[in-house]
Amino acid sequence: MSDLYAVMGNPINHSKSPQIHSAFAEQTGQDLIYSAILVPLEKFKDEADSFFRNGRGLNVTVPFKEDAWQYADTYSSRALRAGAVNTLIKKENGLIHADNTDGVGLVRDITRNHLCSIDGKRVLVLGAGGAVRGILEPLLEEKPTEVVVANRTVSKAEALAQDFANIGKISGCGFDKIDGQFDLVINGTSASLGGELPPIPDTAVHLETVCYDMMYGAGLTVFNQWAQSLNVAATIDGLGMLVEQAAESFSIWRGISPDSKAVIANIRASLNPS
């Protein structure tokens, strides 16, 4: 009987996770079935309980990442620090272990797939929500000279920076206080979903800057359109991060690391059919 895995969220019909994990399973010869489950709001615990009667592992997407954190019995260090999780696995003893693979996915996409070093770079992160919290530990572990978190609500950015200050040099500010130029700018806001641009000054980038939008779509996001208009060195969207965080989840569940590059290329092609 095939092992059961799934992603839970609301909404969920847009999810690429079943396509990604089915490709990983075929590539690595793993016998599993991966499905997408629409979970009614306030019903995460009930749905997770039902799934784990037979299921082995879950991915969790918005708006249930904090519910999943509360649901788990044990945590990885990065999940503990993030306060939100996207990966659950049922261990042999029946306990549910939680992890957050978003930050690993982001860093691998930047450093492995796009060959951009974070070490020694000045990094600006836009936004201070759960998506940003999940990426800060792996980002700081790459040893940038400085990370600045900018957000509309200044106190949220400052509190987030304080939570991670023991790993590296990090500070928080409002968008109006973004100062100087950055080597890497990461858009962790949801502005791209609404076709909006975060209020970032043009002076924050230079010709060698890499701009990364954690969102993705068939075309350029508004943030990456802005970045290209300023002739930055590279613009990257979040599709690679999506596949890489899935690859890390797959590795946690199955103990085998899939080849993500072919899967990224296939999904990119499906977004832009010729």
Concerning whether 65 is annotated as a catalytic residue, the answer is: yes
Residue 7 in contact with residue 58, Cβ under 8 Å?
Answer: yes
H or E segment to which residue 89 belongs? strand 87-90
Runs of H (alpha helix) within 13-116: 17-28, 44-51, 65-71, 77-82, 102-108
Half-sphere CA count of 4, side-chain side, radius 13 A: 11
End-to-end CA distance of the chain: give it in Å, rounded.
38
Give CA separation, 72 vs 18, 52, 60, 86, in Å.
Answer: 23, 12, 12, 11
One-letter amino acid of 172: G
> What six digits make up the tokens of 184?
């890497």
> Shortest CA distance to 15 belongs to which of 58, 48, 71?
58
Active-site entry in 16, 43, 65, 169: 65
What is the rounded CA–CA span in Å between residue 69 and residue 105? 19
Q: Environment class of residue 208 by beta-carbon count within 10 Å: exposed (0-12), middle (13-18) or buried (19+)?
A: exposed
> What six digits make up the tokens of 141?
């572990």
Give CA separation, 55 vs 35, 47, 73, 129, in Å.
Answer: 11, 11, 16, 30
Catalytic residue positions?
65
